[in-house]
Amino acid sequence: MCPYRFVWTIPELNVYWGQCLLAAVTIAKSVEYAFNKEGMLKVGETRPGEMKVKGKGVANGQIHPAVRRGNHYIPSGLYDAIELMHTLRGLQWKFGRGVHIPKPTRPLERDKFLQATLVSFIQNCLLVDFLESAIKLFPGVGSPMGGSMFYPDLQPFWRYTVSTLIHMLTGSAILSGFGMVYDLVTLIAVGCFDSSPSSWPPVTDHPWCADSMHALWSKHWHQLLRQTFLVLGGYPGKWLAGDLGMLFGTFIASGLFHECAMYSMGRGFDHTVSLFFTMQGPILVLERVWRKVTGRRVGGLFGRLWVYSILFLWAQLMVNAWHRRGLGGGMVITIPQPCQAAIPSNRA
């Protein structure tokens, strides 16, 4: 309960509601590990540390085989325990079967991989700095106390133009933030703990190229919290109502996960966020009905417009619920940054 019991005394630091996200992920991991009778096995293991006899393959093409580490200065058992504590997508682990893994975009040779990751980290840091500073220019939205991005004193055209701009800046900042944190963790894991570069594929797979909501959530968006949502909502939902219950339970868990984390900002609940994620279940069912009726998958130009209409129009209500509670006024990067110094933020 520490994430909810204690608060940051500096309002700008209150954006670190990520501590509540971490708490929920840790709870989900603990529940899954405790109830898994066979233990947490790697791909190809029959018991912890015991591999299958060669020749017995696996049927699932999405299984990610184990990779070799380099210097082995960390005992394998200790390394596996550390990896299991921190892994989210479950690469090389049985629970990670079926997870979509984007193709590598960096050289897999260790030194070149670290160089490319360092460059990517710096680029993402600068981009987050710029986007965060730009968001703080907007009155209310850029304040730690928060404010609506739908300015009532503007004419409708300009009101929704401004809200769309803030929405796009926020989405871009979130994606860049994913990349920044992922690059930092990658540098530590590969550079300090001898992890294999192939264990660190891209965190997202070109989300703006998704031409259906099914493709977005299953492939293009990050899969870091997939197992968390399955444990907290998907598996209980399947027990209650089969595959449909699993679908709805997963997205209900996602909605509550995001909203309960934002609750730590001390500004109460706003279930606009929960509703947005919960409605992704019916949306995916709708896409399945479309395929049954027409014989064609949602895709192509119209599929992409369908995705954009949800992400750029409907999702604005969700992002506004975040900004009204001070998300845009928080400090993502606490050390001095070029844009933070050059652009005066608006904290009115």
Angle between helices 235-263 and 18-35 (to 10 degrees): 160
Q: Which residue has the higher pLDDT, 214 or 20?
A: 214
Residue 296: inside a domain: no
Residue 96: inside a domain: yes
Residue 306: inside a domain: no
CA-closest candidate to residue 161, choices 312, 307, 348: 312
Residue 93: inside a domain: yes
**pLDDT higher than 90, residue 114:** yes
Once rounded to an integer, what is the mean pLDDT over residues 9-28? Answer: 75
Tens digit of pLDDT for each residue in 36-76?
A: 888 888 887 777 767 776 645 444 445 555 555 555 667 77
Residue 91: inside a domain: yes
Residue 316: inside a domain: no
Domain count of the fold of the chain = 1
Q: What 3-state class would DSSP assign to 45?
A: strand
Once rounded to an integer, what is the mean pLDDT over residues 308-324? Answer: 95
**pLDDT higher than 80, residue 199:** yes
Specify which residues 42 forms β-bridges with: 93
Tens digit of pLDDT for each residue in 70-99?
A: 556 677 778 888 888 888 888 888 888 889
Classify residue 102 by its DSSP letter.
Answer: P
Q: What 3-state class would DSSP assign to 122?
A: helix
Share of the chain above pLDDT 90, in %: 57
Tens digit of pLDDT for each residue in 242-291?
A: 999 999 999 999 999 988 888 877 778 888 999 999 999 999 999 999 99
pLDDT value for 323: 94
pLDDT value for 343: 65
For residue 86, the enclosing domain spans 73-101
Residue 251: inside a domain: no
Residue 80: inside a domain: yes
Q: Which residue has the higher pLDDT, 334 or 24?
A: 24
Angle at 252 between CA 220 and CA 90, to 5 degrees: 50
The C-alpha atoms of residue 115 and residue 315 are separated, in whole angstroms, by 36
Tens digit of pLDDT for each residue in 150-183?
A: 999 999 999 999 999 999 999 999 999 989 999 9
pLDDT value for 299: 94
pLDDT value for 6: 67
- Per-residue pLDDT band for 19 (boundaries 50, 70, 90) equals confident
Q: Provide the b/e sequence for 43-53 (b: ≥16 CB within 10 Å).
A: bbbeeeeeeee
- Residue 296 phi, psi (nearest 5): -125, 145
